[in-house]
Amino acid sequence: MAVEPVPGEAAAVADLPDGRALVLADFHAGLEAALRYEGVELRSQAPERREKVRELLDRTDADRLVVLGDLCHAIGGPSGTEREEIETLLDGLDLPVTVVKGNHDGDIEDLLDEREHVTLTPGHGVRLGEVGFVHGHTWPAPDVLAADVVCTGHEHPMVRLEDEVGGARAERAWLRGRLDPDPFEDFHGTDLDVDGELVVFPAFNDLTGGTWVNVAGQEFLAPFLPDGLEGGEAYLLDGTRLGDYRRV
């Protein structure tokens, strides 16, 4: 397949015309600083996030990094420890970086404009070969939807798992299924060339929380979910196939 998760990680590799890309979603740099304002004291995990990205780039022999939005956490322009984390991350990369602008990325242009190896795309996404990339807070562009595989973030999908004695835990998960053209055609007001697969990425930052997709009453964040995902199945980060996410 053109997009395959990295076993055990909230990241995937994608085969593109100019090589292999490491793809991740929802980095949320500086999240710990924001949590402190809410009374949650956590030490910064920026070094671990940065090292994990470098490790995955080496492990996958990637030629490019693609971030599916929300590289930042603060909705306004990045500053302070958040800006420092992003600058340090990008300064340490010597390969092309594509950032799809997310709803948390605010005035990120100020941070990225002078970096020749970084390309910022609109929130409605970009298509590179037969793979489309979108953040997910807004509707994908028609060209993105025409790709064989469309990758999206924003949702932070999680599943709630229960054991035989009533214990429960929540784990990050992947969602994969066919793109249903109907909601996208309704939004764009025209027939579209939609016949591919939709892959909903777990959040790379494991502190973000997310949508518990198998719990009644939970609402999806993306405007095209769940209607745009036909036959969606959930997978744990270790590759365990859980089947229809609604029946997990």
Summarised one tens digit per residue, pLDDT across range 47-60 is 899 999 999 999 99
Q: In the chain, pLDDT over 70 holds for what percent of residues?
A: 92
Strand 64-67 relative to strand 19-24, pairing: parallel
Distance CA 89, CA 17 (A): 25
Find the mean pLDDT for residues 5-21: 96
Beta bridge partners of 142: none
pLDDT value of position 217: 85
Q: Which residues contact residue 93 at a Cβ distance below 8 angstroms, ignoring those fewer than 6 apart? A: 53, 54, 57, 65, 117
Mean pLDDT of 154-164: 88
Q: Does this model's pTM top 0.75?
A: yes
Domain 3-247 -> CATH class: alpha beta
Residue 142 Cα distances to 11, 114, 132, angstroms: 25, 29, 10
Per the listing, tokens 């016949």 go with 195
Reported as a single tens digit per residue, the pLDDT across 76-122 is 666 577 788 989 999 999 999 999 999 988 888 888 888 889 999 99
Which residues 6+ apart lie within 8 Å of 162 measured at CB? Answer: 168
Contact yes or no for 108/42 (Cβ under 8 A): no
Q: What per-residue string of b and e applies to 84-107 under the rule 16 or more CB within 10 Å gives b?
A: ebbeebbeebeebbbbbbbbbbbe
Q: 24 near 55, Cβ under 8 Å?
A: no
